[in-house]
């Protein structure tokens, strides 16, 4: 392995980011769907949904942010698949660079691109009336959880990008992830759901993450949800990373 891993990763991340900057529609497209969902639920359905908050967008925003991340990581799988098909991986591997830096460049690009998307969505939410009593530490905690969630899902996207047989297959896996927030506490409290649905909603990763971010935004003490959320994110991250690297080694062997 090259001793210049960090320099190689930075160089390749710059390459990936230039592609994003030349095609900003990627970030815009990723932001449009979650914003459209937020507008629809707040202005069309919000009046009929009781969540115990003065403004429904305040309750809804954490779930919308997770939907945006689940949507955004599909582009990581898409770009990775195109790089594989174009032969650029073989070209990179013929150079004296750390092989894992090729993957990490895509991962870091995903973190940056999704971060920009989330800032755009929060800006729109503020225009819609989102208000928070969160202090700086709470905002940093929210950012950390979202970054960890993005990192975990991005490594899942790496697996899809390396394993897919077609462009549609590379990004199609994200549909399941986008759907998860709809069966969680992101849109309505789980105690309003029928039995089996409630059991699933309360025992999947999105609910604990949403509950944690909602508490942080409300300036309330976070309970055990934050540890459950972190356990889910770290667990998914570790498993996805191990599998992704194993698949990658087989691809370049």
Quick: pLDDT tens for 64-114.
999 999 999 988 888 888 877 776 666 666 665 666 777 888 888 889 989
pLDDT tens track for 149-159: 999 999 999 99
In angstroms, the CA 195 to CA 209 distance is 21
> Can you give the pLDDT at residue 253?
56
State mean pLDDT over 223-237. 95
> Can you give the pLDDT at residue 159?
93
Who's near 215: CB < 8 A, 6+ residues apart? 221, 222, 223, 225, 226
Who's near 228: CB < 8 A, 6+ residues apart? 208
CA 171 distance to own-chain centroid:
13
Q: Is pLDDT at 2 greater than 60 in this prediction?
A: no
* Best CA proximity match to 84, nearest among 114, 106, 58, 54: 106
> Can you give the pLDDT at residue 1?
46
Do 154 and 76 form a contact (C-beta atoms < 8 A)? yes
171 SS3 class: helix
Rounded percentage of the chain residues whose pLDDT exceeds 90:
49
User: What is the overall mean pLDDT for the chain?
Assistant: 86
Burial class for 41, CB neighbours closer than 10 Å (0-12, 13-18, 19+): buried
Q: Is pLDDT at 54 greater than 90 in this prediction?
A: no
Tell me which DSSP letter residue 87 carries. Answer: T
């Amino acid at each position: 392995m090259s001793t210049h891993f960090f320099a190689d990763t930075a160089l390749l991340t710059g390459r990936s980011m230039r592609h994003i900057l030349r095609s900003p529609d990627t970030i815009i497209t990723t932001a449009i769907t979650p914003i459209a969902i937020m507008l629809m639920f707040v202005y069309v359905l919000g009046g009929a949904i009781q969540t115990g908050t003065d403004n429904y967008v305040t309750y809804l925003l954490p779930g919308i942010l997770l939907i945006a991340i689940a949507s955004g990581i599909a582009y990581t799988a898409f770009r990775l698949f195109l790089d594989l098909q174009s032969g650029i991986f073989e070209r990179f591997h013929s150079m004296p660079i750390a092989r894992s830096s090729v993957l990490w460049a895509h991962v870091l690009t995903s973190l940056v691109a999704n971060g920009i998307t989330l800032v755009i969505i929060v800006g729109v939410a503020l225009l819609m009336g989102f208000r928070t009593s969160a202090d700086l530490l709470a905002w940093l905690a929210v950012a950390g959880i979202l970054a960890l969630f993005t990192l975990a899902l991005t490594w899942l996207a790496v697996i899809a990008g390396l394993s897919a047989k077609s462009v549609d297959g590379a990004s199609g896996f994200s549909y399941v992830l986008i759907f998860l927030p709809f069966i969680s506490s992101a849109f309505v409290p789980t105690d309003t759901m029928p039995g089996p649905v409630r059991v699933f909603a309360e025992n999947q990763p999105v609910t604990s993450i949403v509950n944690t971010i909602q508490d942080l935004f409300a300036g309330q003490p976070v309970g055990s949800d934050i540890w459950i959320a972190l356990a889910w994110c770290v667990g998914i991250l570790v498993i996805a990373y191990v599998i992704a690297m194993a698949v990658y080694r087989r691809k370049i062997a």
